Structure 1
Amino acid sequence: MTADQVFDLLRQALWIAVRVSAPLLAVALIAGLAIGLLQALTSVQEMTLTFVPKVGAMLIVFWVSMSFMTATLVGFFTDRIIPQIAGG
């Protein structure tokens, strides 16, 4: 493998990581903003109020998007990594 191939593979792997993690990060951001706004409006400063709904929303999104994540990672592995290991 040349250096260019390694850098291209690394670039693709980082892009796959961004695509796989984007739904969870987006939900965490939206839930955090919504809960922060709710806390600012009601002056309730409870730590579990920020943690539990955010984790619950992330678990739901993870469960819903698990097939997308798995398909993306398996596709990257079978299309890019295995041919490089096999020497193609």
Structure 2
Amino acid sequence: MKKLLKNMPLMAFVLAAASALAFNLPAEEVQGTKEALIDPSNNEWTDITGQMQGIHYNCDEEVETDCTRELDQFGEELPDTRVEGEYQPL
């Protein structure tokens, strides 16, 4: 009984550490894609996943069309992800 009482803080620490790992694992990221509208007349989109606006491309906001959009892992467009403008690769 004395041995059990002496090891009680160690057991509490192990339980706390196991609980922390069990409940704080990072959430799985959604694997989606980012597309740019390269031909508005034919509604032709191309994959630009991993590219960043201002580094790899710009969106000319003076032209009233869609520039980019984001899709989820099933190919469905995510709400409120369209950026207006004309796609211009740099």
TM-score, length-scaled by structure 1? 0.29
Structure with larger RCO (C-alpha < 8 A, sep 6+): 1
Greater strand proportion:
2
TM-score, length-scaled by structure 2? 0.28
Greater helix proportion:
1
